[in-house]
């Protein structure tokens, strides 16, 4: 959508300050008209200018080779239809704006064939690819080729971990350190996470801790990782008593999303990722939620344009939140809608029994139910959430094994507990609004737990 090839008409407001802008990024409101369809959308873009010229009327014209888009939730227009296919190899770029730790998210089909994209983010001459037994046979050779093609100085090691949430633990993490140290990797190396959320979280934490920090790149291959976990620098492992309790905030050099990798994704994994897509709509992007309601079948059918759009829009939401609150002082916690209930399900039911997104889906229904019991949202929202998750073939109730006591026990070790008080993300007001709060009637929580648990 945002590749320069599709942008024939651009009007900046306010006008960038011409020559002083060269080589810098500026945020402008950009009115754009796509060549291929009629939509006109006002969006806030960050544009990096490469050179300055004059057009025929003598007006300064800034030239750029790519646009880095940032959604402006209040003003964004959402397409009623997916954009028509353009040159898919031109990546859409979403920036995560974190000062000197900023990085791009590249989104596109076939990006693993664009070797330069990956190679420009490799530091040093040694690379360690961290992947798992499921993904390695599918994409490891392709990634090694992308790293080394035309680049013979780079050597690549790989470590293949067992697949699944239940291996997201310290013992498995140590295998990454073992491999890195036995291979004598030094600080000028790059770790590459190739896989889903578990691989991304573990590889990222290993990169954060190996020699007190080396570079890393995320190549997410699941919807879950592409729309959520690969972006924003949350890394870590589980403890037997709770999810993601040990880790680091550590940002990658880039996130490279090749949407073609979704062609091999199991149905259940696909649906799991959509739980996080739904989340963005609920907490901050109601137009996106509208779009999802209309396009859920296309997403489940793996319509490439629909998936690409959902990924891009999700990354934009995530990047914006992370840029505003990297270390989860408050706002970022809202990305955890449904996750406190969901983590309790994952821990209580056993890691890997349900996929993360499945647990989040049930958790989201519970958080929405509780929001409604508190009188904070309309009944219509409850119904829409239930319906869209059903449509996505996701669970809307926790597994039968979960009791109210199990929920309470596992929720008590949630990272959002502060001075003993459990804070939750709850919807409040019209669709697209939420709060992160410890100030709620405890009875509502009890009632929700009782409503969803048999004991």
Residues interacting with a copy of itself, by CB under 8 A?
Answer: 124-126, 170, 174, 177-178, 181-182, 184, 186-188, 205, 208-213, 234, 236, 239, 241-242, 245-249, 327, 412-413, 415, 417-420
Nearer to a copy of itself, 32 or 176 (CB): 176
Compute the distance between CA of residue 313 and CA of residue 76 in angstroms, rounded to an integer. 11
Cβ burial, residue 99 (10 Å; 0-12/13-18/19+): exposed
Residue 356 annotated among the catalytic residues of the structure? yes
Could you tell me the smallest distance in angstroms from the CB atom of residue 100 to a copy of itself?
12
Residue 339 annotated among the catalytic residues of the structure? yes
Residue 11 annotated among the catalytic residues of the structure? no
Given 43, 336, 384, 423, which residue is catalytic? 336
Compute the distance between CA of residue 317 and CA of residue 322 in angstroms, rounded to an integer. 9
153: number of Cβ within 10 Å: 8
Cβ-contact 431, 286 below 8 angstroms: yes
Could you tell me the smallest distance in angstroms from the CB atom of residue 170 to a copy of itself?
6
Q: Which helix (H) or strand (E) holds 11?
A: strand 9-13
Given 43, 70, 339, 415, which residue is catalytic? 339
Given 179, 284, 313, 343, which residue is catalytic? 343
Residue 343 annotated among the catalytic residues of the structure? yes
Could you tell me the smallest distance in angstroms from the CB atom of residue 357 to a copy of itself?
21
Nearer to a copy of itself, 69 or 336 (CB): 336
Nearer to a copy of itself, 121 or 332 (CB): 332
Residue 63 annotated among the catalytic residues of the structure? no
Residue 336 annotated among the catalytic residues of the structure? yes
Residue 447 annotated among the catalytic residues of the structure? no
Compute the distance between CA of residue 39 and CA of residue 300 in angstroms, rounded to an integer. 25
Cβ-contact 345, 453 below 8 angstroms: no
Compute the distance between CA of residue 359 and CA of residue 363 in angstroms, rounded to an integer. 6
Could you tell me the smallest distance in angstroms from the CB atom of residue 231 to a copy of itself?
16
Nearer to a copy of itself, 291 or 410 (CB): 410
Residue 328 annotated among the catalytic residues of the structure? yes
200: number of Cβ within 10 Å: 30
- Which residues on adjacent β-strands are paired with residue 234? 249
Given 157, 165, 328, 346, which residue is catalytic? 328
Structure tokens at 444: 């509502």
Given 165, 260, 276, 358, which residue is catalytic? 276
Residue 332 annotated among the catalytic residues of the structure? yes
Nearer to a copy of itself, 124 or 304 (CB): 124
Q: Which of 258, 207, 221 is nearest to 105 (CA)?
A: 258
The residues assigned a catalytic role are 212, 234, 276, 318, 328, 332, 336, 339, 343, 356
């Amino acid at each position: 959508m945002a590749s320069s090839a599709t942008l024939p008409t651009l009007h900046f407001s306010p006008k960038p300050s011409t020559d002083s802008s060269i080589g810098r990024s500026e945020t402008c409101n950009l009115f754009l008209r796509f060549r291929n369809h009629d939509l006109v959308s006002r969006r806030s873009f960050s544009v990096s200018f490469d050179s300055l010229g004059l057009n025929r009327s003598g007006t300064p014209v800034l030239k750029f080779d790519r646009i880095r888009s940032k959604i402006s939730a209040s003003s964004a227009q959402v397409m009623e239809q997916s954009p028509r296919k353009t040159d898919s190899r031109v990546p859409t770029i979403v920036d995560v704006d974190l000062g000197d730790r900023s990085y791009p998210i590249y989104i596109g089909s076939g990006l693993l064939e664009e070797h330069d994209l990956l190679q420009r983010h490799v530091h040093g001459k040694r690379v360690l690819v961290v992947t798992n037994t499921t993904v390695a046979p599918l994409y490891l050779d392709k990634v090694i080729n992308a790293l080394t093609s035309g680049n013979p100085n780079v050597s690549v090691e790989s470590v293949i971990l067992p697949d699944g949430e239940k291996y997201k633990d310290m013992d498995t993490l140590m295998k990454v350190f073992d491999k890195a140290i036995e291979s004598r990797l030094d600080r000028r190396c790059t770790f590459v996470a190739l896989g889903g959320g578990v691989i991304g979280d573990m590889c990222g934490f290993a990169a954060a801790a190996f020699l007190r920090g080396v570079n890393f790149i995320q190549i997410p291959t699941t919807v879950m990782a592409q729309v959520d976990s690969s972006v924003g620098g949350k890394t870590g492992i589980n403890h037997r008593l709770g999810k993601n309790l040990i880790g680091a905030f550590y940002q990658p050099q880039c996130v490279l999303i090749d949407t073609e990798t979704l062609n091999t994704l199991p149905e259940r994994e696909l649906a799991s990722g959509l739980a996080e897509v739904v989340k963005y709509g609920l907490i901050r992007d109601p137009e996106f939620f509208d779009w999802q309601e209309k396009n859920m079948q296309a997403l489940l059918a793996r319509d490439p344009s629909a998936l690409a759009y959902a990924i891009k829009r999700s990354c934009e939401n995530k990047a914006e939140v992370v840029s505003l609150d990297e270390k989860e002082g408050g706002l970022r916690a809202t990305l955890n809608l449904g996750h406190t209930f969901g983590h309790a399900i994952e821990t209580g039911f056993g890691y890997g029994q349900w996929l993360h997104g499945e647990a989040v889906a049930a958790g989201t229904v519970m958080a929405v139910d509780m929001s409604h019991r508190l009188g904070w949202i309309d009944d219509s929202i409850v119904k829409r959430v239930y319906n869209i998750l059903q449509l996505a073939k996701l669970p809307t109730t926790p597994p039968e094994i979960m009791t109210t006591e199990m929920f309470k026990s596992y929720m008590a070790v949630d990272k959002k507990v502060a001075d003993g008080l459990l804070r939750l993300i709850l919807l409040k007001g019209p669709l697209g609004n939420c709060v992160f709060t410890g100030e709620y009637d405890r009875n509502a929580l009890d009632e929700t737990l009782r409503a969803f648990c048999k004991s």
